[in-house]
Amino acid sequence: MSYARIGKGRNLPEQLEDDLRKAIVSGELAEGQALPTEPDLAQRYGVSRSVVRDAVRLLIAKGLVEIRRGKGTFVRAARGEAFAEALLLALARNGGTALDIEEFYGLLLPGIAALSAERASSGDRDRMLLRAEAYLEAFGREALDPSSDGPGLLRALFEAFMNEILKACDNKLVELVGGLLVRMRSFRDLAPEEGAREGGVAAIIELEERAIMGLARAVAGGKASEARAFAVRLCELRPSLRARLASTPAGDMPKLSFDMLAPIVQDS
């Protein structure tokens, strides 16, 4: 922090926020560290306490700090939540739908899968396969008995698998935007009572296994073009799914059924 006296011209809270923000982004104020107290900041910058309060409020709105009751104001971990909220907001205001999100994911995933195959370390590869197996096990249980674990666990396991692929790319923007897309898709919040055609469940489980294990093995095996091809197929949308997503505003939860989600896999 510069602790330079501010004043004149521009909005005072914004000037103060600017200085504190730079200190946070540069790491001068590290994650988990406490901000100086309100009176302390007011004195050092030569501003009123209400200016300090307003500046801190701007930092809170940007997701950079948080108030812990009775303890003070602390620098938050950099997880990109503020960015996620801002993006969803912008998308909703532009009339975006769940289909925009899903299509975007489909544009990005093939390239990510290929890059991940090229760059994954052996540790990445092991974790990727383990996560794929854990997800598929839960998928099978949930498909056969929708009440067993609930969709929350299934979604968390799917996200954990995808996040391994994202991490292996070794690209910060892939982690941030990709991680957000995986969360935004909110795809695995199934309403199985609505769909799951009689007799079709086993076939859907098999399709999902072929698609996910195919992707996981190609990436873990370092086969970039095969990983790309699996990702392309994994992102193909059934017409019923496309229609449902197009009618769901971005940020809302589409009501999906297992048969809408079954991967379109003819050959493997």
The residue (of 26 and 148) whose beta carbon lies closer to a second copy is: 26
The residue (of 89 and 144) whose beta carbon lies closer to a second copy is: 89
The residue (of 106 and 221) whose beta carbon lies closer to a second copy is: 106
Mention every residue, 6+ apart, whose C-beta is less than 8 A from residue 171.
115
Q: Hey, what are 132's tokens? A: 């794929």
- Report in angstroms how near the CB of residue 75 gets to a second copy at its nearest: 10
Q: Hey, what are 190's tokens? A: 């199934």
The residue (of 166 and 211) whose beta carbon lies closer to a second copy is: 166
- Report in angstroms how near the CB of residue 247 gets to a second copy at its nearest: 15
Cα distance between residue 171 and residue 168, in whole Å: 8
Cα distance between residue 214 and residue 263, in whole Å: 12
- Report in angstroms how near the CB of residue 28 gets to a second copy at its nearest: 12
- Report in angstroms how near the CB of residue 133 gets to a second copy at its nearest: 27
Tokens 């991680």 appear where? 179
Contacts with a second copy, residue ranges (CB under 8 A): 21, 24-25, 54, 57-58, 61-64, 78-80, 82-83, 85-87, 89-97, 100-101, 103-104, 106-108, 110-112, 115, 171-177, 250
The residue (of 50 and 148) whose beta carbon lies closer to a second copy is: 50
Measuring CA to CA, how many Å separate 174 from each of 111, 139, 179, 242? 10, 26, 7, 25
- Report in angstroms how near the CB of residue 124 gets to a second copy at its nearest: 17
- Report in angstroms how near the CB of residue 57 gets to a second copy at its nearest: 6
The residue (of 82 and 130) whose beta carbon lies closer to a second copy is: 82
Mention every residue, 6+ apart, whose C-beta is less than 8 A from residue 116.
124, 165, 166, 168, 169, 219, 227
Pair 160, 135: CB distance under 8 Å = yes
Q: Are strands 72-75 and 65-68 parallel, antiparallel or unpaired?
A: antiparallel
The residue (of 57 and 210) whose beta carbon lies closer to a second copy is: 57
Pair 113, 107: CB distance under 8 Å = no
Q: Hey, what are 10's tokens? A: 């521009």
- Report in angstroms how near the CB of residue 118 gets to a second copy at its nearest: 12
Any alpha helices (H) in 46-97, and if so which ranges?
Answer: 49-61, 81-93
